[in-house]
Amino acid sequence: MWLHEIDAVDDVAVAAIVGEESDTVRETLLRRLEAVLGKGDRVARRRSEPRHLTRPVANVEENTVSAPTDTDADSDLSNPYAEQAAEWLVFPEDVPDDPLRRAEPDQEIAAMARSRGEDHEAVRERFVYEYAWAVPNRPAVEAVVEYGPVVEIGAGLGYWGWLVEQLGGDYVGYDPDPRTQLNDPEAAVREDIVARGDRHGREFEDFVHDGWTDVRKGDHRAAADHPDRTLFLCWPSRDADWAHEALDAYDGDTLVYVGEGPGGVTGDEQFFEELRREWGVVDSVPIPQWPFVDDLLVVYER
């Protein structure tokens, strides 16, 4: 049973919650129901920060993502990832007080995902290899544009960069094995994706996208060439060195990071230690999440 299948139990759940004697408990449970069902015109509750961004919300009935009624239409931003994946996503209403707290995916929502009866990880993998690991929304893209120009290390398909460029942002992306090399039979990315395609019973050409914008060939060392740009790291590999190596190579003073906190599936211990020691949080934006994931966008300065 999942978002578009649980209307029948809505009234029962609400009635039980309304019958709760404690006002505080009742309000908390109603908010939880709202978050789990993914319904209503929810707008992000942001802390008192220089910028106030509103986020897209899921329309479960139509399986689309639309702008809140108090914002301009998103006609200038095409975001097929968020639109096509909407029925599987969770839409957080706020960001944690401490973005460097340990990653804590919502276990209730994870349990609901398991109960749906579909292979959620397989669904997610298809989207990841067509778009990106993290699901962008308009506020997150606006944040990247605002703190730009940016240089992304580990850009993959360049999907976030494509969205940034749609909103007029200045973007440069690097990846050690960019998708522009998909025609190279010896490219590591081709071998990896062929293996994944075989596992899911699909041909290579049907499994991947060849890139959304230009991504240059380069690794963490490319960060040293762009001290005048904001460093953008989106879902750096778990327990890999390159995220903190990019920080070490970078001589600029602004970082936009998208991923989980310490103990999660992005970055390594040294990366988060460097963030604690040398960087301070200046902004954060909630983004749509896959179940089992606890990611967000955080802006750091040093």
Give pLDDT, residue 128.
86
Inter-residue contact 82 to 66 (CB < 8 Å): no
Sort 230 into a burial class: Cβ within 10 Å, 0-12 / 13-18 / 19+: buried
Structural domain boundaries of the chain? 1-37, 42-301
Is it the case that residue 124 has pLDDT exceeding 60?
yes
Buried b / exposed e over 278-290, threshold 16 CB at 10 Å, is ebebebbbbbbbb
Confidence band of 61 (pLDDT split at 50, 70, 90): very low
Q: What is the mean pLDDT of residues 118-137?
A: 83
Vertex 166, ends 39 and 137: CA angle to 5°?
20
Q: What is the mean pLDDT of residues 287-291?
A: 91
Inter-residue contact 26 to 18 (CB < 8 Å): yes
CA distance 204 to 198: 8
Query: Shortest CA distance to 233 belongs to which of 223, 243, 225, 221?
Result: 243
Confidence band of 293 (pLDDT split at 50, 70, 90): confident
- The interaxial angle of helices 120-130 and 188-199, nearest 10 deg, is 150
CATH architecture group of domain 42-301: 3-Layer(aba) Sandwich (3.40)
Q: What is the mean pLDDT of residues 137-159?
A: 96
For the stretch 220-248, pLDDT in tens is 999 999 999 999 999 999 889 999 999 99
Residue bearing tokens 């919650």: 17
How many other CB atoms are there within 10 angstroms of residue 258's CB atom? 26
Sort 236 into a burial class: Cβ within 10 Å, 0-12 / 13-18 / 19+: buried
- Report which of residues 255 and 2 the model is more confident about: 255
CA distance 4 to 55: 21
Half-sphere exposure of 220 (CA within 13 A, CB side): 15
For the stretch 71-84, pLDDT in tens is 344 468 999 999 99
Tell me, yes or no, if the pTM score tops 0.85. Answer: no
For the stretch 170-189, pLDDT in tens is 999 999 877 654 445 455 55
Structure tokens at 222: 């490319």
